[in-house]
Amino acid sequence: MIREQFEQFLGKARQELENKQQKFIAESDVSGYKEYWIDIPGSRLEFIEGQQAKISYEAICIGSWSQAKGSWMWAWAHDSFPEPVRRQSARLRELYEITGSPVFAEKEVPCNEPGALELTAMSIHHLDAIGMYRIPGEQAYLYVAVMRKIESQ
């Protein structure tokens, strides 16, 4: 992709994420839950009320953004994640072949918060996710793609 094509792709991905987020929040009411739980090895994001999960989603880890380091690290590069999680996330490396941008091939890249959201938007587009969720951590924010609702058993 040439720069102009990349900018168009990014703009489309940003708008798509905004639309998907509005729909995801409206249909799931996730903002109404006080607690959540991320089961990284199980690829599951749960929103909790009281002692039990009320709504669950399949989730794919995208990457993490560290304000202190000013960097983004792809989930496929995180040694702390189990191999199946890194393998799921490795699909995002395909964005390098699509765009030609080295940001999708490097394990860690300099990044600010708006940049983290842009990388997430392009990832959500590529994975055809229904939305995203940002999880605060002690050292970084983890960005996950929300793939589909898991129906209660």
pLDDT in tens, 132-146: 999 998 899 999 999
| Amino acid occupying residue 13 | A
Q: Are 118 and 65 in contact, with CB atoms under 8 Å apart?
A: no
Angle between helical axes of 3-28 and 113-127 (0-180°, round to 10): 80
Where are the domains positioned within the chain?
3-150
Q: How far is CA 2 from the centre of its chain?
A: 25
Q: What is the pTM of this model?
A: 0.91
What does pLDDT average to over the chain? Answer: 93
For residue 83, how many other CB atoms are within 10 A of its CB? 8
* pLDDT tens per residue, range 49-91: 776 668 899 999 999 999 999 999 999 999 999 999 999 999 9
